Amino acid sequence: MKGRKNRILVTGGFGQLGRCLHSVSEYHIEFEFYFASSKDVDITNKESMTLFFKNNSFDYVINCAAYTNVEQAEKEPEKAFVVNTYGAKNLAQICKEKNIVLIHISTDYVFDGSKGKPYTEEDRTNPINEYGKSKLLGEQYIQECAHKYFIIRTSWLYSQFGKNFYKTILQKSATEKKLSITTSETGTPTNANDLAEFIIAIIKSTSSKYGIYHFSNLGESTWYDFAYEIVKVSNKVDVINIEKADNYPTFAQRPKYSVLSKKKSIESFGLNILSWDNSLNCFFRKNK
């Protein structure tokens, strides 16, 4: 129908990225968004999903629904696979059946971290923890089952919503005199609001260049670098001691180097991506 707005379903609509999409959606009134919780749309229940999509039509589905507790996934991998793998498969199948474009969020943890330089979309995957394995298998099912899809791998998300490293460091810097932060992992902190804008840019482009894309802010850092910059922008660098730690004991293995190359995304969608520290500074000024 002429003049009809594209309808966009956001699964996991009340998680960190879903809430960032809700924020930026206010500036994109040309689209009609529907933000769904797992009670509205349970992607792990094929029967209820079929009924939901029978009663509702969409042009795009942005899948933000995910099991993201990396540590707990080692202890209960079946729960991670139910959501990250089979939930993604269910969505891919129904999106193909209904001719819907699926935009799915994945992770830098599909890589093992041994490359030592930024990973491209074509590099060999080799996850070293259960979370990464569940996300990679979800990617593979989407590629098998869907024909219109964008898989976006991202890393180290933070925002004004939910629990994340940025908010944890701000809180701890207000209550503790010393923080010990690991330098053993290198990646890229990513402002989830910037990722939300990238997702909107894909939809606005009406591109049919389906496939896997990487998005994070530019540059690289350790968790120590990230923590130091958070404390610095909050003007607490003189009142708290942040010390480097060679390692931080975790149950799950994590890639030592998981920086993502954004070359394909920049060339395909004409992006102007901020460096991670510039984006953090902008974010802090907007949300302090």
Within 10 angstroms of residue 248's Cβ, the number of other Cβ atoms is 14
Domain count, the chain: 1
What is the enclosing helix (H) or strand (E) of 6? strand 6-11
What gap in Å lies between CA 46 and CA 186, rounded to an integer? 38
* Tens digits of residue pLDDT in 143-189: 999 999 999 999 999 999 999 999 999 999 888 889 999 999 999 99
Residue 98 lies in a domain: yes
pLDDT tens figures, 211-270: 999 999 999 999 999 999 999 999 887 768 889 998 777 789 999 999 999 999 999 999
With respect to residue 225, please indicate whether it lies within any of the assigned structural domains.
Answer: no
Burial call 40-66: b when 16+ CB within 10 Å, e when fewer: ebbbbebeebeebbeeeebbbbbbbbb
Q: Are 129 and 73 in contact (CB under 8 A)?
A: yes
The pLDDT > 70 percentage for the chain reads 98
In this prediction, residue 73 carries a pLDDT of 97
Which pLDDT belongs to residue 97?
A: 97
The CATH number assigned to the domain holding 158 equals 3.40.50.720
**Per-residue pLDDT averaged across 24-35, rounded?**
95
**Of the residues 60, 109, 119, 131, which is catalytic?**
131
CA distances for 96 relative to 153, 207, 256, angstroms: 21, 17, 36
Instruction: In whole angstroms, give the CA distance from residue 22 to residue 36.
Output: 11
Asked if pLDDT for residue 92 goes beyond 60, the answer is yes
For residues 111 and 129, what is the distance between their CA atoms, to the nearest angstrom?
10
Domain span at 132: 6-164+189-218+259-274
Provide the phi-psi class of 118: left if phi over 0, else alpha when psi is between -120 and 50, else beta: beta
- How do 186-187 and 221-222 pair as beta strands? antiparallel
What's the pTM? 0.96
Residue 250 lies in a domain: no
HSE toward the beta carbon, residue 12, CA cutoff 13 A: 24
Q: From 108, 156, 152, 158, select the one nearest 128 (Cα to Cα).
A: 108
Is 279 a member of any domain? no
Residue 153 lies in a domain: yes
Predicted pLDDT of residue 12: 97
- Looking at every residue in the chain, the average pLDDT score rounds to 95
For position 237, what pLDDT does the model report?
A: 75
Average pLDDT of span 4-11: 94
User: Does residue 176 or residue 74 have the better pLDDT?
Assistant: 74
CB 259 within 8 A of CB 186: yes
226 found inside a domain: no
3-state secondary structure at position 202: helix
Give residue 3's pLDDT: 67
| Six-digit token string for 138 | 């979800």
User: 8-27: string of b/e by CB count within 10 Å (b at 16+)?
Assistant: bbbbbbbbbbbbbbbebbee
For the record, the structure tokens of 116 come out as 């030592």
In a domain, 284, yes or no: no
Of 12-26, 83-97, 163-177, 200-214, the least confident: 163-177
Q: Does residue 227 form part of some domain?
A: no
pLDDT at 1 over 50: no
Q: Which two tokens stand for residue 63?
A: 């899948």
Question: Is 228 tagged catalytic?
Answer: no
